[in-house]
Structure 1
Amino acid sequence: MTPRGHLSRRHFLAASSGALGANTLRGQEAGDDPAPDGRLAIDGGPKAVRESPPRPRRWGEPERERLEAMLGQDSLFYWKGPQTGLLVERFREACPLEYVMTCSSGTAALHIAVAAAGIAPGDEVITSPVTDIGTVIGVLYQQAVPVFADLGRNTYNLDPEDVARRITPRTRAIIAVHLAGNPCDLDALKALADEHGLALIEDCAQAWGARYRGRPIGTIGHIACFSLQDSKHVTCGDGGVVASNEERYGPRLQRFGDKGFDRLGSSGLFESFATNYRMSEPQAAVASAQLTRLEGIAARRARLGDLLTEGIAGLPGIEPHAVRADDRCTYWFSMFRLRPGAMRCDRAEFVRALVAEGVPATAGYIPLPLYGNPVFREHGFFAGRWPVKELGLTTMDYEAVSCPEAEAILESGVRVAIHEGMDEAYIRGVAAAVRKVASHYSA
């Protein structure tokens, strides 16, 4: 696994050093390394990052134009709505899939995908334990069983070898979560899915604009799910998209997002059962405008995240975010790990020192792997009960589940915010801050 980068660490440091005094960011020297006295900002020394970048302007005239067009419509319903039609058209430009259903959230997209894949009570779906709970809500509502597999040490994505170990005769699907916009090893996961007759569902909620070996994320698996929630690369406040090229699953997506109603059919009868996950035209108007910004956002985040990795590569005790050289990660965030025993401080102290230097850093990602949460350990999904376990359809005991690498990632990870409002000089300053703190605490 080779971290992506255009510069070696030696060349990066040389370039940063040569830029001192020439490249400034609001009065700060870009890529500046520790002051001669070596004092951390937390101990009274000068900050490595002296000012925060401006927040990106997320909407404006493109969104206003679509909303004004929407206000002239007779209906705001999604079916054959002009805003929904434009959203689907622009989505296909970014992710060329034939069957596309807009919906109310990324969680809804995943539930639609699981339902369209025919997941039934007692079926098992393998996925990541380090993800938003929305990844598995649809699995549980279909009365199926989430099975958690361990992760790659620095990719933070599913380890295909551990996925293979957890496949049983009851396994019906794999949900590959592209955490933080870093593509999973999709060829390996797709090979497992094909070998065992499983559906491969891509959770692309954090991965808008990402590419796997040059291909748009979402186009390798059988079904792709995207989120338009407010914190994502592109947004309409809340919303989602689920799409597929598969004849087995694609025609089902609309029905499972629209109460089981087939709007292309003529009988008017309900032949399947589903909930209402429809997106409205106002949401689609904003989302369609947002997609005109996607490539710029994705490319900028990819460059900034890769630049941060280059700037901290090779530091003793630091393990950067690992991205394959032929992939594009779009960095919903960047995360590096502290190697146990390599620092004369714990992670909490390291993060406090980074924050004092002006770095937007936090400890870890989520508090625990999903299986460590009370609702899983108590199997209390439905009014404190879990019918499939009570009926003997599964023997799953989440109190006994362990994914050692996932747990270690959450215990040792340091998350750094990345967004398109930042520039390269700022990121060089962030990298300099990490170098400064790591140098101070290096054992």
Structure 2
Amino acid sequence: MSPRDLSRRQFIAVTSATLLASQLPAEGVDLKSDDATKLAIEGGSKSLKNPSQKLIRWGEPERERLLSLLSQSTLLYWKAPQTTLLIQRFREHYPLKHVMTCSSGTAAVHVAIAAAGIGPGDEVITTPITDMGTVIGILFQQAVPVFADLNPHDYNLEIADVERKITSRTKAIIAVHLAGNPSKLNQLKQVADQHGLILIEDCAQAWGAAYQGKPVGTIGHIACWSLQDSKQITCGEGGIVASNDERFGQRLQPFADKGIDRNNVKQATEILATNYRMSELQAAFAAAQMTRMQGIAAQRAKLGNLLTREIQGLPGITAHQVDERDRCSYYSYILRIQPKFIHCGREQFVKALNAEGIAASAGYIPEPLYKKPLFQNHSFFAGRWPIREMGLTKMDYTKISCPEAEAILETCVLIRINQAMDEDYIRGIGAGIRKVTRHFTA
């Protein structure tokens, strides 16, 4: 029926119905009188009316392991029941021959760097957006962190810039799987092999993540994990370092145990190493947590990918980019706002999200690592940097810039995701992000 066939009364009825339908809230958005445009921060209804289920991180499996400790005569790690079980369960997910438990993820990275033979003046390429734990070991080995720029939306190392940063002094690359999102490991391994470099995987935030069907940590030469309290699985503090490469694997245990080779304790100590041992108490808890790891990672992956679908294509927002062949275990969900489309500052945007009931925060770390005062002042050791004073490096961090990394930190917003959330809760987060974004792009 064309407009000319309608009576005046019919025309008014049809157009009124169409107008009304166009103003209805999107499916899944629980808004009534306020409609979908009024922000909670301005008195509208929250997108998330109910809190997520309480996150329960431990229970009977952990209790059972801790009780079993009471029958032990020692809590030293070497060939002890809890550490043995932890390594066994770890290998069920990560088929790596040489495995050493450590006191922290930072310790694990330091052990990896030391086992790789990194020494004074050697250069190690890594990301400027990471925890200090990634670079502490480099500096304590008197080596030089070299910062490469990142891909804009997966937040991992940009291969081309890594290649640009390689010099005759480069000895290793540390790939950080930020927020549980796998780095481009095949390409990084190819670059490492072409230049005779060692590829170390920092999997601190990536428990259960997979790169093209393979567990992260099984592609590089050495890999490190963290069991710190905020990670997907935890024993409060702890770490694991592992390798299948015989050149480095046999060196992991001594470098975490004061240079002592526990397989031959009478052998003279030949290396300088610190004490990074994990106790049986930590190992017991971690062994129980290991049974939860795959389920936690799968749930986080499902929820994070759902959130991407909820906000994909939203003007002014760029979703967390994950390769469809990979599994991201979402330590957190990182989106970016596009300032040229969003008519407010990031802090205001995040406050509006918080008012909708969404656990969000502005930014990740305050600045790239190279902008921290100890880098800007080259003041790593009692206000000094001995290798620079001795002419072993000309690195000047005051002149370093990674433009994309800096832009990421200026525009990123972190959304908290955990395994206690369900799909309806994530849809509520998506609805809240859409609501806030549309308000500030109108």
What range describes the TM-score normalised by the shorter chain of this pair?
over 0.9
Structure 1, residues 218-238: CA drift from partner, whole Å, max 9, x if none? 000000100000010111010
The SS at the match of 1:310 is helix
Q: Distance in 2 between matches of 1:233 and 1:292?
A: 12
Aligned ranges 1:121-200 → 2 under 5 Å: 121-200=120-199
Alignment RMSD:
1.4
Shift of 1:37: 6.2
Encode CA deviations 1:298-332: one digit per residue, 9 max, x unaligned: 00000000000110000011100000000000000
Partner of 2:10: none
TM-score normalized by structure 1? 0.92
Flag the structure with more relative contact order, 1 or 2, with Cα contacts below 8 A and sequence separation at least 6: 1
CA distance in 1, matches of 2:37, 2:89: 51
Once the two structures are superposed, residues 36-77 of structure 1 have per-residue CA deviations (whole angstroms, 9 ceiling, x without a partner) of 262111111111111221331111110111111111101100
Residues 174, 201 of structure 1: 8 Å contact kept: yes
- Matched with 2:9 is none
- Counterparts of 2:373 and 2:161, CA distance in 1: 24
**Deviation >4 Å, runs of 4+:** 32-35
Partner of 1:330: 329
Partner of 2:217: 218
- TM-score if structure 2 supplies the norm length? 0.93
User: Does 1:70 pair with 2:66?
Assistant: no
CA distance in 2, matches of 1:383, 1:246: 36
SS in 2 for 1:146: strand
Give the conservation status (yes or no) of the 8 Å contact 2:297–2:329. Answer: yes
C-alpha distance in 2, partners of 1:216/1:33? 46
Alpha-carbon distance change, 37 to 305 in structure 1, aligned in 2, over 3 angstroms: closer
* Contact kept in structure 1, 2:100 and 2:253, CA below 8 Å: yes
SS in 2 for 1:249: helix
Query: Could you tell me how far apart the structure 1 residues matched to 2:51 and 2:167 are?
Result: 50
Distance apart, 1:346 and its partner CA: 1.3
Could you tell me whether the CA contact under 8 Å between 2:123 and 2:169 is conserved in 1? yes
Q: CA deviation at 1:268?
A: 3.0
Count of aligned residue pairs for this structure pair: 418
Determine if the alignment matches structure 1 residue 38 to structure 2 residue 47.
Answer: no
Structure 2: tracts of 5 or more residues without a match: 1-24
- 1:271 equivalent in alignment to 2:283: no
Is the counterpart of residue 427 in structure 1 residue 426 in structure 2?
A: yes
Question: 1:17: Cα distance to partner?
Answer: 5.4
- Segments of 5+ residues of structure 1 without an aligned counterpart are 1-15, 21-27
**More deviation in 106-115 or 39-48?**
39-48
For 2:21, the equivalent position in structure 1 comes to: none
Q: Secondary structure at the match of 1:381?
A: coil
User: Are the structure 2 counterparts of residues 332 and 34 from structure 1 closer, same or farther at C-alpha, using a change threshold of 3 Å?
Assistant: farther
Q: Kindly report which structure 2 residues correspond to 1:7-22, keeping only aligned pairs within 5 A, or say none.
A: 20=28
Whole-angstrom distance in 1 between the partners of 2:82 and 2:149: 41
Tell me which amino acid in the other structure corresponds to 2:292.
R
What's the secondary structure of 1:57's corresponding residue? coil
Q: Distance in 1 between matches of 2:225 and 2:37?
A: 45
Q: Comparing 125-134 with 338-347, which one deviates more in the overlay? A: 338-347
Which secondary structure state, in structure 2, belongs to the residue aligned with residue 248 of structure 1? helix
| Mapping of residues 314-329 of structure 1, within 5 Å | 314-329=313-328
Q: Distance in 2 between matches of 1:54 and 1:38?
A: 27
User: Structure 1 counterpart of 2:249, which letter?
Assistant: G
Equivalent residue runs for 1:201-212 within 5 Å: 201-212=200-211
Q: Structure 2 CA distance, aligned partners of 1:160 and 1:246?
A: 23
Aligned to 1:227: 226
CA distance in 1 between counterparts of 2:131 and 2:238 reads: 15
Q: Which moved more, 1:423-432 or 1:265-274?
A: 265-274
